[in-house]
Amino acid sequence: MHYAELFCQSNFSFLQGASHPEELILRACELGYRALAITDECSVAGVVKAYTVIKEHKLPIKLIVGSYLKVDNGLSLVALCNNRNAYAELCRIITNARRRAEKNHYTLTQWDIASLKHCLLIWLPGHNPADKEHALWLAKYHRERLWLGVQRHLTNNESHRTAHTEQLARQHQLPLVACGGVLMHHCERLALHQVLSARRLGAQVADAGSVLPSNAERSLRSIDKLYRLFNPRWMQETLRIAERCQFDLGTLQYEYPTEVVPVGHTPMSYLRQRVTEGCGKRFGDTVPEHIRPLIDKELRLIEEMGYAHFFLTIDDIARFARSQNILYQGRGSSANSVVCYCLEITAVDPRNIQVLFERFISKERNEPPDIDVDFEHERREEVIQYIYQKYGRERAALAATVISYRFKSAVREVGKALGFSDVQLDFFIKNVNRRDQHTPWQTQLCDLGLDSDSHTGRYFFTLVETLIGFPRHLSQHVGGFVISSGPLYELVPVENAAMAERTVIQWDKDDLESLGLLKVDVLALGMLSAIRKCLDLVHNHYGKRHELYDITAHMDDPAVYRDIQNADTIGIFQIESRAQMSMLPRLKPACYYDLVIQIAIVRPGPIQGGMVHPYLKRRDGLEAVEYPSADVKTVLARTLGVPIFQEQVIQLAMLAAGFTGGEADQLRRAMASWKKTGQLLKFKDKLINGMLERGYQQEFAERLFEQICGFGEYGFPESHSASFALLAYASAWLRHYYPTAFYTALLNSQPMGFYSPSQLVQDAVRRGEEVLPVCVNHSFYHHCLEPNSTGWAIRLGLRQVKGLNQSAAAQLIAKRGAGFSQLTELKQLELGSGALEALASADALRALAGHRYQARWQLMQQQQDLVTQGKPSSQYLNELKKPTEVQNLFEDYISVGLSLSHHPIELLQSNGQLPAFTLARDLIHKHHQSLVTVIGVVTGRQSPGTATGVTFVTLEDHTGNVNVVVWAATAQAQKRAFLSSRILKINGIVEREGRVIHVIAGKLTDLSSLLSELNAPSRDFH
Amino acid sequence: MLWLYLHFPALQLDSLPATGQPRAIACNRRHVLVQINRAAQAEGLQLDMGLGLASSLCRNLEVHPYQDDFAPRRLQELAQRLYLVSADIMLFNPDGLLLKASPMLRYYHGLKHYWASLQHELLGERVQACGATDTQPLAARALARAGIECIGGDRQPPRWHALALAHSDLPGKAINQLQRIGVSNLGELVRLPLTELADRLDKTSIDYVQKLTGRKVYPTRFFTPAARFTRYRELECEADTTAPLMAPLARCLNALEDFLQTRDHVTATLTLQLLRRDRPAIHLKINAAQGERRAHTWQQLIELKLASLTLDAPVYAFRISAAQSYPRAKLVEDLFNAQTGQLERAELLSLLEAKLGPDALLQPSLNNDHRPEQRASCAGNRLTGDSGTPMQQRPSLLLDTPKATAEPLSIIHGPERITTGWWDQAPVMRDYYIARNRAGCWLWVYRPLQRSGSDRNWYIHGYFS
Name the phi and psi angles at A813, rounded to 5: -65, -40
CB A460 within 8 A of CB A407: no
Chain B interface includes A1012 (CB < 8 A): no
Whole-number Å distance between alpha carbons of A91 and A99: 12
What is the β-pairing status of strands B442-448 and A35-41? unpaired
Inform me whether the C-beta atom of residue A265 falls under 8 Å from chain B C-beta atoms.
no
Contact A127, A75 (CB under 8 A): no
CA–CA distances in Å: residue A119 to residues A8, A76, A85, A486, B162? 17, 15, 8, 21, 82
For residue B158, the 8-state DSSP code is P
pLDDT grade, residue A863 (50/70/90)? Answer: low
d(CA A309, CA A315): 10
pLDDT at residue number A25: 96
| C-alpha to C-alpha distance for A381 and A529, rounded to whole angstroms | 13
pLDDT at A1015: 38
Q: How far, in Å, CA of A37 to CA of A24, rounded?
A: 10
Burial class (CB in 10 A: 0-12, 13-18, 19+), B296: exposed
- CA–CA min distance B51, chain A (Å): 9
Task: Reply yes or no on whether the pLDDT at A1021 is more than 70.
Answer: no
Asked if the model's pLDDT at residue A907 lies above 80, the reply is yes
Contacts for A204-210: CB closer than 8 Å, 24+ residues apart:
A204/A416, A204/A417, A204/A418, A204/A419, A205/A417, A205/A418, A205/A419, A205/B423, A206/A419, A206/B423, A206/B424, A207/B368, A208/B368, A209/B367, A209/B368, A209/B369, A209/B370, A209/B388, A210/B368, A210/B369, A210/B370, A210/B375, A210/B388, A210/B391
Counting one residue from chain A and one from chain B, the pairs whose CB atoms sit within 8 A come to 117
The closest of A206, A196, A193, A190 to A418, measured between CA atoms, is A206
What are the pLDDT digits (tens) for A740-763? 999 999 999 988 888 889 889 988
CA distances from A308 to A302, A314, A364, A396 (A): 6, 10, 19, 19
Query: In Å, how far is A966's CA from the nearest CA of chain B?
Result: 17
Q: How many CB atoms lie within 10 A of CB B191?
A: 11
- C-alpha span between A76 and A89 (Å, rounded): 18
Q: B418–A214: do the CB atoms touch at under 8 Å? A: yes
| A877 interfaces chain B, CB cutoff of 8 Å | no
Residue A989's pLDDT is: 92
Task: Please choose, from the candidates A149, A196, A178, the residue with its C-alpha nearest in 3D space to the C-alpha of residue A19.
Answer: A196
Average pLDDT over residues A955-984: 82
For residue B383, pLDDT beyond 50? no
Per-residue pLDDT at A944: 61
A646-676: string of b/e by CB count within 10 Å (b at 16+)? bbbbbbbbbbbbebeeebbbbbbbbbbbbbe
Give the single-character DSSP code of A415.
Answer: H
Contact A210 B196 (CB under 8 A): no
Q: What is the pLDDT of residue A356?
A: 46
A156 vs B28, B392, B422: nearest CB: B392
Find, among B178, B169, B111, the residue nearest to B142 by Cα. Answer: B169
- List the single residue in B with minimal CA-CA distance to A882: B182
- E strand spans, A24-100: 35-41, 62-70, 76-80
Q: Where are the beta strands (DSSP E) in A237-302?
A: none
Quick one: average pLDDT of B217-245? 84
- Assign residue A916 a region: left if phi > 0, alpha if psi is -120 to 50, beta otherwise? beta
Q: Give the confidence band of B332 by pLDDT, cuts at 50, 70, 90.
A: very low
Q: How many CB atoms lie within 10 A of CB A919?
A: 17
A211 contacts in B (CB within 8 Å)? 368
A231 in contact with chain B, both atoms CB, cutoff 8 A = no
Do residues A490 and A91 make contact, with C-beta atoms less than 8 angstroms apart?
yes
Summarised one tens digit per residue, pLDDT across range A444-458 is 888 777 887 888 888
Minimal Cβ distance to B182: which of A206, A213, A881? A881
Q: How far is residue B183's CA from residue A941's CA, in Å, rounded to a whole number?
A: 35
A852 and chain B: CB distance < 8 Å anywhere? Answer: yes
In 3D space, the residue among A854, A848, A798 whose CA is nearest the CA of residue A827 turns out to be A848
- The alpha carbon of residue A771 and the mean position of all alpha carbons in its chain are separated, in whole angstroms, by 35
Give the pLDDT band of residue A497 (cuts 50, 70, 90).
confident
pLDDT of residue B389: 60
- The amino acid that residue B374 corresponds to is Q
Helix axes A308-323, A291-305, angle to 10 degrees: 120
CA nearest B26 in A: which residue?
A423
Q: Once rounded to an integer, what is the mean pLDDT over residues A714-736?
A: 88
CA distance to partner chain A, nearest, from residue B449 (Å) = 12
Whole-number pLDDT of residue B183:
85
How much of chain A, in percent, has pLDDT values that exceed 70?
Answer: 92
Q: Tell me the average pLDDT across A941-950.
A: 64
Kindly state whether A156 is in contact with chain B, defined as any CB-CB distance less than 8 angstroms: yes
Phi, psi of B445 (to 5 degrees): -120, 160
Q: In what order do the strands lie in the sheet with B442-448?
A: B397-405, B458-463, B442-448, B428-437, B409-420
Query: What residue of A is the nearest CA neighbor of B60?
Result: A448
CA distances from A536 to A785, A800, B206 (A): 12, 20, 53
Indicate the residue of B52, B181, B417 with minimum beta-carbon distance to A217. B417
Spatial distance between the Cα atoms of B167 and A474, rounded to a whole number of angstroms: 50
Which of A:970-1009 have CB within 8 Å of B? Answer: 975-976, 979-980
d(CA A196, CA A463): 10
Interface touch A190/B182, C-beta < 8 Å? no
pLDDT category at A228 given cuts 50, 70, 90 is very high
Q: How confident is the model at residue B453 (pLDDT cuts 50, 70, 90)?
A: low
Q: For chain A, what is the radius of gyration of the CA atoms?
A: 33
Residue A785 pairs in a beta bridge with: A794
The answer to whether the pTM exceeds 0.80 is no
pLDDT at residue number A874: 66
Element (DSSP H or E) covering residue A443: helix A441-447
pLDDT band of residue B346 (cuts 50, 70, 90) is very low
Least confident of A465-474, B77-86, B378-387, B430-439: B378-387
- Of A289-293, B295-299, B442-446, highest mean pLDDT: B442-446
A579: closest CA of chain B, how far (Å): 27
